[in-house]
Chain A
Amino acid sequence: DAGITQSPRHKVTETGTPVTLRCHQTENHRYMYWYRQDPGHGLRLIHYSYGVKDTDKGEVSDGYSVSRSKTEDFLLTLESATSSQTSVYFCAISERVYQPQHFGDGTRLSIL
């Protein structure tokens, strides 16, 4: 199994608070991704990174920011959480293009 650790695994917070989710990999893979998974919508890309300090937006990036200061860590931040951001968040990594993405176990985030 790919060495991907997401933290925290579960979080409950209130609307308007900042939230940061962490993805840590031990595979030294170049590409890292953040997805959210919601009933009826499936898996949607939020942001991705193609190297240290190189990031770009995905399909549903509004309200989210990311940072990647080291190869192994990719952070997802909700600056001011809203109830619509209640979801399960998955981090994924891939070694290069045209290679499979491997996923972490997810973070279940509830915003009340």
Chain B
Amino acid sequence: SQELEQSPQSLIVQEGKNLTINCTSSKTLYGLYWYKQKYGEGLIFLMMLQKGGEEKSHEKITAKLDEKKQQSSLHITASQPSHAGIYLCGADMLGSGGSNYKLTFGKGTLLTVNP
């Protein structure tokens, strides 16, 4: 079974609408990273969350890590066509030992924004 589940797998929204993507784990997340990928390109780092309850924002994108550190959400406000792409969460699920050698990634959420 997938250790890091992303939902939904794909999402189509109208420009201007808000949306949320979730990343859920059955284990504690010691570091949670959000990336965006455009088709045929590399992953672009968006945000990193480490503390339970932490919330970070960049432009119209807000990411949160819940108190129990087992779920993160990515929220986009007033979506634009430039937000389209694949959003991936990656997580350090090993914790103590000081290693993020092995990030586990979700399978991604494909976001389409229709003008």
Contact = CB atoms under 8 A, between A and B. Distances in A.
Interface of A: 31, 40-45, 48, 50, 56, 58-59, 90, 92, 94, 97-106
Contact of B48 (A42, A50, A100, A106): A100
A59 B104 CA distance: 10
A102 B45 contact: yes
26 contacts: A31-B101, A41-B107, A42-B105, A42-B106, A42-B108, A45-B102, A45-B103, A48-B101, A50-B101, A90-B42, A90-B43, A94-B100, A97-B101, A98-B50, A99-B48, A101-B45, A101-B100, A102-B45, A103-B35, A103-B42, A103-B43, A103-B44, A103-B45, A105-B41, A106-B41, A106-B42
Contact of B42 (A31, A48, A104): A104
Nearest to B97: A97
Interface string B29-49: 001010100001111110010
Given A42-B88, A90-B43, A104-B42, A98 B31 contact: yes
A40 B100 CA distance: 24
Contacts of B31: 98
Nearest to B50: A98
Nearest to B98: A97
Contacts of B92: 98
B83 to A, nearest CB: 19
B93 to A, nearest CB: 12
Which 8 residue pairs spanning A and B have beta carbons closest together? A42-B107, A43-B105, A103-B43, A103-B42, A105-B42, A100-B45, A97-B100, A42-B105
Contact of B103 (A40, A90, A101): A101
B8 to A, nearest CB: 15
Contacts of B44: 103
